[in-house]
Structure 1
Amino acid sequence: MIVALADLDYFFAQVEEIMNPSLKGKPLAVCVFSGRTKDSGAIATSNYEARKLGIKSGMPIIMAKKIAPDTIFLPMRKDLYKQVSSRVMKILENFSDRIEVASIDEAYLDITKKVKSYSDIMELGKKIKEEVKMREGLTITVGIAPNKVFAKIMADMSKPDGLGILRDNDVNNFINSLDIGKVPGIGKVLEDRLREIGINYLGDVLKVDFLTIKNKIGKAKANYLLSLANNSYDEPVRPRISKHKGRYVTLSKNTRNIEIILPFLKKAIDEAYNKIDGLPKSIAVVTIMNDLDIISREKSFPYGIDREKALQESLLLLKKILEDDNRQVRRVGVRLGKIYKSSTLDKYF
């Protein structure tokens, strides 16, 4: 399998620069205003000029304004970004018959059948970048590797406007030299736990007893790391079809206190259930952390679940998120999936 991750550089801010070329070269930050106060909210993304001044994604707006008051702070324009994203995804579809849209600014492409050699891979990566730049004016970073996780890491290492390719014969060295904290899905809490048992690099996973790792970070994460370390990870690129309903709410303040989060979680569940006709067979709790990173946990059921059951299960999923991550929660939400419409007597009369 050969996978490419196409990741648009500082997407929201870059779109604003294209819409208003006079912004180019000036420090610029796109903000998510929470509405609590005039300057409450966080930085969604910033261009590289603003980053040089110390502005980072997830930083409170009020703090960013103190650090770099001459920065241009713009509100997020979701509809505009969605339109641009949709056009970019259409471009990417020309390079693969299997594309998985991972977020508004990144997508995985299965290019296994499109390339036969390293030169083919290099050429395809360049064409993706050239096509997006020519048609939308956007720079995009492309990471290419034998699996989705390694492709994402290669993209992260190649930003901005880069092309990173992990060759098959370089995989072992890559695994042995990859800092465990750089592995997607390994937050600070899990990173610290792994370092406690001598795992500082991905390759170290193969040097530690699996049971020790499982007891430290849980079976699912242990299996995930093992599959990466022995290069057997093979999650396919899955085209996603949206079949879920979701609802998200902003907390009154950033917190890790479950008692404070619970009423907001219940509100999200109630509003999500009000939007569906039937019962969901899967539920996911989604948290947007204080730095705007998104973490989710999901559970499926053999039957549709009602609101009360959804709240019980959501609370357990929320606790799991907080156990695995030590950051504060800014927003919380739920996604209801596999919605099952029960038959009623009305259809027979």
Structure 2
Amino acid sequence: MSSDSNNANNEKLVDNLNVESQEILITPEQLKTALPMSAKAANSIAESREVIRNILDGNDPRLFVVVGPCSIHDVDAAIDYAHRLKALAEEVADTLYIVMRVYFEKPRTTVGWKGLINDPYLNDTFKIQEGLHIGRKLLLDIADIGLPTSTEALDPISPQYMQDCIAWSAIGARTTESQTHREMASGLSSAVGFKNGTDGGLDVAMNAIQSAQNPHRFLGINGEGQVAIIHTKGNPYAHVVLRGGSNGPNFDSVHIELTEQALSKAGAANNIMVDCSHANSSKEPELQPKVMEDISNQIVVGNQSIVGLMIESNINKGNQSIPADLTKLSYGVSVTDGCIDWDTTATAIRNMRDRLKDVLPSRKN
């Protein structure tokens, strides 16, 4: 038997035993060539990143507010929402800087729909290459509207396809502790928020911020889709996002002060973002405006550290399961976490703007 035959037989015994098949994926450069970014979109994205950096540096007194669906499953509804949000953003722009939440990837504790990129047709066909096209086109269309976007950086490969479109990125509670995600965050072009752990503890987020602010070297892919050693500079705009935990909410003034102390101990900037959803609203989406009111009250009485908010919002309230017959999906209703509806969202944001418009400009730089 030849040496080649021996090698082939050995590989059959030990290699890819649980891999059913492999598909060659379009490269990041090929996708960007197929869906190029307009000059208008590029300028919009660059400007939005600069605004967020200025807010984090204390040079812009506004709050930035990441608001939108828990996840995107309907592109038409997402564009509808984006046009509504753009008009509202212009209305409150003197006080609040609005960023649309455009989440394509959903972490799962066990199994379930993993998002538009992984399964764009919501039917377990997993047309990932088509999902990448659909996702990138949506981001470009929203950028052309003039609205900044945010997403969760979950898969370590997908940022090569999408990150050039993103103004702000999140690392979720389940992945903040991951070395892979800390390394990835150190090279992201946008500011990045690390959520506290699912138990509500701050240590993993503090460690993540310190890690992401430093240079790293790790395995990844380049624009041509080749495996490469990625050398990053470190991301100086890594910060914390409070989302509550198994012990309850953590947006109150006591938890905010404890977070300030933890940031100081870690040598990190005193920048805190509050996720009004998840455990901070006790997983009751309709309570999110109450969290916003509390945050406004804290700022009115002198808080200097809260720089941003996250809100889960959609055209219509609540959520729905994905039916076998997709024609039965309700328009503008989340298929993942429940959301507040558009009217509730607009009212809550306007109320926050009215409460803070005369307060934020006097904040210390």
Same fold (TM over 0.5): no
> More strand by proportion, 1 or 2?
1
